[in-house]
Amino acid sequence: MEKKLIFRGAGTAMVTPMNEDGTINYPMFKQLIELQVEKKADALIIAGTTGEASTLTDEEHLALIDFAVKAVRGRIPVIAGAGSNSTAHAVFMSKECEGLKADALLLVTPYYNKASQQGLYLHYKSCAEAVNLPIILYNVPARTGVNISPLTYQRLSEIENIVACKEASGNISQMAKIASLCKGKLAVYSGNDDQITSALSLGAEGVISVLANILPQETHEICEAYFCGDCKRSGELQLKYLELIEALFLDINPIPVKQALGMMGMDVGECRLPLCSMDDVHKEKLYHVLKQYRLVP
């Protein structure tokens, strides 16, 4: 069965801008969306980890996706974060996002519960059966405490509307195994900005990126160069932005990327608790790196 690709290239894991009182700053969100479209982002991922989904109410979460779909107006795919550690809640959110006309869903593994591989399979199968939208599996064991094994990926790839995965384990050997087992049935996206070219070399279709909040066009170009056959150029760009990528993970994501955007003049506000501001030492280091890349005065 041939599965339609949701996007190819660099999808931006969007931050959620906040006002001083902690509410969502929709005018700034609109500005960020327009910047992403203008600068060649290949897709937008709304209310994922970088979008602070875990501290959004369901009402805020769905309003954010509704706003993004209407603001993007079909120019690029809008992928809605809809995962939960409760299967019933993930099914509910998936249905709601489908009703809001998102183009696809990003479903993180159930966190904290530490489900078995069979539990993960049944969780994703339940979500897939509840909607017609294409689904991207999201594996980030450092944050969730559970890893999708390559064999479970293979089983899930047999489900018609499970079409891709965001593989953020950081394990290139696992990514190679997934690509081998699921060839033609599951598109792979790197979930790590420091492994884009490496992932592409194993057949990945792109990246779901934090870096693209800062440099959407440049992240797109890392992928585009590879797809155009200039693997050397893709690798050179990957290495060129490596220090910036590392700086964006000086603290827990999305703390540094929101701090960076603020330093660049975009009022995205602070993260919601329990995530808090970086300490002064890390702020200074981040600013120094942004200055190296001529992103701040």
Q: Are 97 and 82 in contact (CB under 8 A)?
A: yes
Determine the Cα–Cα distance for residues 238 and 200; give it in Å rounded to an integer: 11
- DSSP letters spanning 225-271: HHHTT-HHHHHHHHHHTHHHHHHTTSSSTTHHHHHHHHHTT----PP
Neighbours of 30 (CB within 10 A): 15
Q: Give the active site residues.
A: 138, 166
Burial class (CB in 10 A: 0-12, 13-18, 19+), 229: exposed
CB 33 within 8 A of CB 72: yes
* Residue-wise DSSP of 146-211: ----HHHHHHHTTSTTEEEEEE-S--HHHHHHHHHHTTTT-EEEES-GGGHHHHHHTT--EEEESG
Tell whether the torsion through CA atoms of 290, 293, 295 and 297 is positive or negative: positive
